[in-house]
Structure 1
């Protein structure tokens, strides 16, 4: 009886894992889109939670000590940044608070190496905490810009995965991520260009005006897709350095929050720099 059950159990395992991944993905997408539609403080709190989770995963992976004290300092720092943003405190207040908590957390960490890892954890998490609410509230971008970010990153990830598995071919960066291929990279790139164009086109059809023409949207979508894939490779390099498979086991079937937001983080960083530049020239 046991011998006959073995193959059946083995064959069911991949199907069960895929089902878990799909269900988790549906829940995450629903939460992200629901919070984006709502906007305001619920949306800011959603990304604060994501940023705190990322900060904890980063500090856990890199072995910073005293870990819980550093995480507490940085958690309070990220909360402060969110509250200052919601209160419209201004760039100077936010930048000052960010620098203060970054220095405090780095000073608490032991050793020069751990201080550097600690500062990097806070800076990385701060991008996720601040940029999505900034995009959501920006008058000329708003909800459409946020949906564009989601569409480009998600489409890049999905298309790269399936194109790479289907076509195979030369490896993209085997020293960092042995499974990624150039075919997957190109598949993700072109799929993101199409997704970004469709989001902008549908938005205009629904009366949401924006200043970007079709060529500009396609070009920006391709740049964002490249950034997303570089962000994915960057997190893979960090995990390889720390000798871990996943950043955590928080999300069933997906690993950690960093594992899901590495590409989005890179796109958010680009958008954040662009928004700061626009703010500086305004």
Structure 2
């Protein structure tokens, strides 16, 4: 095993232990982890897109916005998180029109803030929150790992050669199948699963995960960056590791909110909304 591979493996183990421990503990611990992830993502986003170079005032406004969202998630009222995210994003869009700030500013606040809000909301404080977060994790991780190995093994037509030349359709399909199976196993471990709801939900989150991966690849290619940063030895930056998780989590959050708005859910819990169509 080479030194680089040992470093990469050790970093992966440490990250996995920290994430799973925080997920198990929930509450303040997981909210703190979500806040750290979101703040770090915004820092990497700021450096890649040159927000400070464009406008110090704009970058400061962005940092203030993400910091308030993160603080509210950790010690405030979670019901205010989504209004805060929407309010700050709209305000920064209007400010961009007025002061000609970079459009990447409001996009960065929306992306990193949504990551914080979605992760913390899914985990919440109840037992279903733990299952729901584990469900999302397994889908994203299964999709990512199998997409890599299937793509390397089978090759074939490229998925999006202008954005990410290494990704193939075979890898995307293999990763999606793995994500659906992984999500189903997690749900089946806790519920008596029947019908198509869980496979369809896992399918949607797996596809969203891969779209998030492509989105980050687009940003890095747009700004000529190989990695989002060098914070994680052997892995690049935090955004490199959570790109798929961010979009899948926010997708799960939006699906749950849509179910709540339609009256389909019987609970305010994200996990309760997502798993409301399966029997315990």
Shorter-chain TM-score category?
0.7 to 0.9
Residue 66 of structure 2 is matched in structure 1 by 78
After TM superposition, list the pairs within 5 Å mapping 1:35-74 onto structure 2: 35-65=22-52, 70-74=58-62
Q: 1:25 to 1:195 in 2, by over 3 A?
A: same
Count of aligned pairs: 261
| Partner SS state of residue 166, structure 2 | strand
Find 1:123's aligned residue among 110, 113, 117: 110
Give the alignment's TM-score, normalised by structure 2.
0.83
Residue 215 of structure 1 is matched in structure 2 by 196
Residue 136 of structure 2 is matched in structure 1 by 149
In structure 2, C-alpha distance between the alignment counterparts of 1:219 and 1:138, rounded to whole Å: 26
| Partner SS state of residue 65, structure 1 | helix
Q: 1:136 to 1:202 in 2, by over 3 A?
A: same
In structure 2, C-alpha distance between the alignment counterparts of 1:140 and 1:38, rounded to whole Å: 10
| Partner SS state of residue 51, structure 2 | coil
Residue 237 of structure 2 is matched in structure 1 by 256
Find 2:206's aligned residue among 218, 225, 229: 225
Does the Cα contact within 8 Å between 1:73 and 1:101 map onto a contact in 2?
no
In the alignment, structure 1 segments of 5+ residues that lack a partner are 1-11
Does the Cα contact within 8 Å between 2:85 and 2:114 map onto a contact in 1?
no
Does the Cα contact within 8 Å between 1:192 and 1:225 map onto a contact in 2?
yes
Deviation at 1:188, TM superposition (A): 0.4
| Partner SS state of residue 196, structure 2 | helix
Task: Confirm or deny that 1:163 pairs with 2:144.
Answer: no
Residue 219 of structure 2 is matched in structure 1 by 238
Does the Cα contact within 8 Å between 1:74 and 1:102 map onto a contact in 2?
no
CA root-mean-square deviation: 2.6
Find 1:277's aligned residue among 254, 258, 268: 258
| Partner SS state of residue 180, structure 1 | strand
In structure 1, C-alpha distance between the alignment counterparts of 2:47 and 2:140, rounded to whole Å: 26
- Moved runs in structure 1, 4+ residues, more than 4 A? 66-72, 103-106, 108-111
Residue 273 of structure 2 is matched in structure 1 by none
Give the alignment's TM-score, normalised by structure 1.
0.83
Deviation at 1:86, TM superposition (A): 4.9
In structure 2, C-alpha distance between the alignment counterparts of 1:280 and 1:217, rounded to whole Å: 20
| Partner SS state of residue 165, structure 2 | strand
After TM superposition, list the pairs within 5 Å mapping 1:195-214 onto structure 2: 195-204=182-191, 213=194
Q: 1:99 to 1:146 in 2, by over 3 A?
A: closer
